[in-house]
Structure 1
Amino acid sequence: MDSIASTIDHQKKEEIRIRFLKVDTSNVADVLDNLGYPNQGLAAEFSPFPATADRLAGWAYTIRGQMTPFPLGGDPEKMMACQGISPGEVTVWSGDGEGICYFGELIAIGMKERGCVGSLVDGGIRDVRWIGQHEFPVFARYRTPIQSIGRWKVNAWQTPVFLRGATTSLVKIEPGDFILGDEDGVLTIPAAIVEQVLEEAERLTSIEVSIRAELSAGMTLAEALKKFGHV
């Protein structure tokens, strides 16, 4: 079955993505709570690599793998999976790998060439310095020099995946859901409510901008809260 995101044309999807880059995950998380989606946050271990990486915002392209001993020489399924990536997408890597990287600089370059705008990795990455120089934002659980070849193998892509959660053990991510990450952490937004969440997050952001301006002009916090309410 096609996702909600697949019914939106590319221009509209890119417009939504760019708008999300201007709102904070904190506001989006509050909106999700109010809409009855309290468990969309990912585990605190997910961090930007390098630490100076840009925000992560894009439509989920999912990739799944598992620890599987196999001969050295490459992982053709991983290469096949990456061939399907479209502009504006974030690759979401899931699986049971521990201590090994799911990809490094060269695959990051290949993904960026296809229009990929970043990666979310429930596992490890390597070549952190070089990935940073390519301005390719990655949020992952850890970094490691140990390659996946011979140890961890891709077995599916564009299928629902589960990543470690903040308030629940696992968070389900469907292809076409929206991924947003910044200094505070990472969220996944179900495709069916992406536009609703964005509009409300933009409203909250506008209120916060006004509050900061009033505080800078001398208004006390109590006065600001009385005028604008809790945000």
Structure 2
Amino acid sequence: MENEINVADRENIRQRYLRVDTSNVADVLDNLNVPNQGLAPEFTPFPADAGQLAGWAYTIRGQNTPFPMGGDADKMAACQGVSAGDITVWSGDGDGTCYFGELIAIGMKERGSVGALVDGGIRDVRWLKKQEFPVFARYRSPVQSIARWKVNGCQVPVFLRGATVKFVTVNPGDFILADEDGAIIIPHHLVVQVLEEAERLTNIEVAIRSELAQGLSLSEALKKFGHV
């Protein structure tokens, strides 16, 4: 799908997703019989007020691999293909170490990336806040990846810890949405369909909240609008 959508349409879709909630997206995916796309509850925003994450998956995979100090050229090479509207998705074994920090965030931001999703550790949280670069990750750690955790692939399917299954597959070009309720992955072939239905549910919820504020009871609202 990524190859079928031009740059302007990609950004339009991304902006529209920023106006819907992960909860509605999850409900839509359930109705489409794609029920296991939510990520584990450990994925949280860093800093806590980082805001929403919405963008196209650019996947990066790594593993625990002892190697000499002096940088990680493979990690930098893997990031070269990141483009506007992308979210870098970091995966692989390496618990305890940091995969992502301030300097990578600066480089990704220069390329137009709109955030990062990290199934592992991050650091430089204070400086990420100053960069206004949203990151959702499982934990923070001051321990760098250099000499410990090495990138071994990019733009390949990766596996992130899931909410209802052990792992959720993320393919390049899938869509990522994360907010206060958590993070969810929308398969690339369903991105537009899920968005349109999530927008419909959002409009219904806005109408319900408006009428409740005007005195309509919840039972009356459910009779009028149905279950959402």
Q: Please point out which of 16, 19, 29 is paired with 2:26.
A: 29
Query: What is the number of residues matched between the two proteins?
Result: 228
Cα distance in 1 for partners of 2:165, 2:86 equals 25
Q: Is contact 2:100-2:118 (8 Å) kept?
A: no
Q: Please point out which of 38, 51, 54 is paired with 1:54.
A: 51
2:157 corresponding residue in structure 1: 160
Q: Please point out which of 2, 6, 10 is paired with 1:9.
A: 6
CA deviations on 1:179-210 (whole Å, 9 max, x unpaired) are 00000000000000100000000000000000
AA aligned to 1:121 is V
TM-score, with length taken from structure 2: 0.99
1:223 lines up with 2:220 in the alignment:
yes
AA aligned to 1:13 is R
1:102 corresponding residue in structure 2: 99
Q: Is contact 1:54-1:135 (8 Å) kept?
A: no
Post-superposition shift, 1:24? 0.2
1:184 corresponding residue in structure 2: 181
Q: Please point out which of 34, 39, 44 is paired with 1:42.
A: 39
SS of the residue 1:14 aligns to: helix
Kindly, what percent of the aligned residue pairs are identical?
71
Q: Please point out which of 50, 53, 73 is paired with 1:76.
A: 73
Q: Please point out which of 172, 191, 197 is paired with 1:194.
A: 191
Post-superposition shift, 1:167? 0.3
2:129 corresponding residue in structure 1: 132
The unaligned stretches of length 5 or more in structure 1 are none
CA deviations on 1:41-94 (whole Å, 9 max, x unpaired) are 000000000000020000000000000000110000100011110000000000
Cα distance in 2 for partners of 1:54, 1:81 equals 26
Cα distance in 2 for partners of 1:103, 1:49 equals 11
Cα distance in 2 for partners of 1:202, 1:103 equals 32
2:114 corresponding residue in structure 1: 117
CA deviations on 1:7-35 (whole Å, 9 max, x unpaired) are 11010010000000000000000000000
1:64 corresponding residue in structure 2: 61
AA aligned to 2:18 is L
Cα distance in 1 for partners of 2:203, 2:132 equals 28
AA aligned to 1:16 is I
TM-score, with length taken from structure 1: 0.98
Cα distance in 2 for partners of 1:204, 1:5 equals 25
Runs of 4+ in 1 over 4 A off after TM superposition: none
Cα distance in 2 for partners of 1:153, 1:62 equals 14
Q: Is contact 1:94-1:121 (8 Å) kept?
A: yes
Cα distance in 2 for partners of 1:123, 1:163 equals 9
